[in-house]
Amino acid sequence: MKINKENIESVNKKVAENHLNQFDFLANSLDQKNIDVDKLVSELSDFQVAIPSWALGAGGTRFGRFSFYGEPSSLEQKIEDVGVIHSLTQTAGAISLHIPWDVPEDYNAIKELAAENDLIFDAVNSNTFQDQKNAKESYKFGSLSNVNKPPREQAIAHNIEVVEIGKKLGSKSLTVWLADGSNFPGQNNFQTALKHTEDSLKEIYKNLPEDWKMFIEYKPYEPNFYSTVIQDWGTSFMLANACGEKAYTLVDLGHHLPNTNIEQIVSTLMLKGKLGGFHFNDSKYGDDDSTVGSVKPYSLFLIFNELVYGMRNNPQNPYPAWMIDASHNVKDPLEDLVQSLEAIQEAYAKALLVNQDELKQAQLNNDVVLAQELLQDAYRTDVRPLLAQARLARGGALNPIQAYRSLDVRRSLIEERGRHTVASGL
């Protein structure tokens, strides 16, 4: 299933007039505030978010999974699905692979297919949280942190192999998420587990190419329920510093205990030049992996406010790698990802509207009320016409969900792939 420019133009026609009216109205009101609308539109057009290869099928829980008709069952089909999302939204120009779920058979063919779909390969993700078929060692009691050397060595070798695979695809970063931890008090010696993890990460780091980055993800609990070795940003930051300048912390929005001030974490990491990557999702309770912006859109905006501030004021921090890390138990995965992308762009656009100079002045004057007014004025602006304009500028759909439905994409996918498909991966 491939969507071409003509398909998109034909659906855009139906909503073009309405869009133009809304865009003109918004552009005029932003003009009056001396906001450069063209610059805003081009900043939004440039903002690209990677789609993980494991998010294209229906997600599930430990209680079960309800599959979605027409899911992709090969890497090729996953790339095609991201291609569909990207052609509609023009904001998903990258795919992030999980190894060994998505090891390409024919690298050249896979690279060609990605290029045809206007996609690049973002971070490659290692997997030491599952035992692989025919693996000599088990990760039941940990991988990089395991008390025994053989499983640690196997996990290190796996990560090095993932880098090799990524090199062949043109990826430039490795993301390490560890499930390592303990389920019961007394099971692990915290210091030993952390020390092993640090030593193992340093081994992997030694094998990182010069122009690569290593992202270290943290998570407070799950799948282990008493302790996680890399439980929080501080631990990740410490490990990244111990490894070296190519190692960074990765913030996944779902990996915090309730009410954690994530925007402050973002700000601290950027000040220290150590925010490498970002996984978007939303949650009510924990690592729910819900659609971005579906539960706490204002928090997302506050996080973006810090990201924008950091991108403008912290040259010591590299441009972060953006990825969606969400799942969808009951929605069409492609529609869900489109909704997430829209929410990300919306929060970004609103953060770009914050008048940073006035905010700084309000802070200097301790004018708390004005500071809040400035943030909320930006947040309350309906920026959707800006997003649509940014998509239009790159040949995308004015309304991607409506386009997806009127082009009957899911029906075509089912016709191509059948009703009873099994997505590989999670």
- For binding to Mn ion (CB under 5 A), which residues are involved? 252, 279, 287, 325
CB 266, min distance to ligand PSV, A: 17
Q: Which is nearer to Mn ion, 223 or 234 (CB)?
A: 223
Q: Which of 403, 405, 396, 408 is CA-nearest to residue 89?
A: 396
Q: Which is nearer to ligand PSV, 249 or 389 (CB)?
A: 249
The amino acid at residue 102 is: D
Q: Which does 125 bind (CB under 5 to 8 A by kind): Mn ion, ligand PSV, none?
A: ligand PSV
Given the rule CB under 6 A, which residues bind ligand PSV? 125, 177, 217, 219, 252, 279, 287, 325
Buried b / exposed e along 249-259 (16+ C-beta atoms within 10 A): bbbbbbbbeee
Q: Which is nearer to Mn ion, 286 or 318 (CB)?
A: 286
Q: Which does 246 bind (CB under 5 to 8 A by kind): Mn ion, ligand PSV, none?
A: none
Q: Which does 336 bind (CB under 5 to 8 A by kind): ligand PSV, Mn ion, none?
A: none
Instruction: Provide the phi-psi class of 395: left if phi over 0, else alpha when psi is between -120 and 50, else beta.
Output: left
SS3 call for 358: helix
Q: Which does 196 bind (CB under 5 to 8 A by kind): Mn ion, ligand PSV, none?
A: none
Tell whether omega for the bond before 100 is within 30 degrees of 0, i.e. cis. yes
Q: Which is nearer to ligand PSV, 219 or 384 (CB)?
A: 219
Q: Strands (DSSP E) along 263-310, which ranges?
A: 275-280
Q: Tokens 């990460």 label which residue?
A: 201
Judged on CB neighbours under 10 Å (0-12, 13-18, 19+), 146 is buried
Q: Strands (DSSP E) along 178-301, which ranges?
A: 181-182, 213-217, 227-228, 247-252, 275-280
Q: Which does 232 bind (CB under 5 to 8 A by kind): Mn ion, ligand PSV, none?
A: none
Q: Which does 78 bind (CB under 5 to 8 A by kind): ligand PSV, Mn ion, none?
A: none
CB 254, min distance to ligand PSV, A: 7
CB 71, min distance to ligand PSV, A: 18
Judged on CB neighbours under 10 Å (0-12, 13-18, 19+), 156 is buried
Q: Which is nearer to ligand PSV, 51 or 308 (CB)?
A: 51
CB 131, min distance to ligand PSV, A: 15
Q: Which is nearer to Mn ion, 344 or 392 (CB)?
A: 344
Question: Two tokens at 256?
Answer: 């915090």
CB 154, min distance to Mn ion, A: 23
SS3 call for 361: helix
Q: Which is nearer to Mn ion, 279 or 391 (CB)?
A: 279
CB 110, min distance to Mn ion, A: 23
Q: Which is nearer to Mn ion, 230 or 354 (CB)?
A: 230
370: how many CB neighbours lie within 10 A of its CB? 15
Spatial separation of the C-alpha atoms in residues 205 and 199, rounded to whole Å: 10
Q: Give the CB-nearest residue to ligand PSV.
A: 177
CB 177, min distance to Mn ion, A: 6
CB 316, min distance to ligand PSV, A: 25
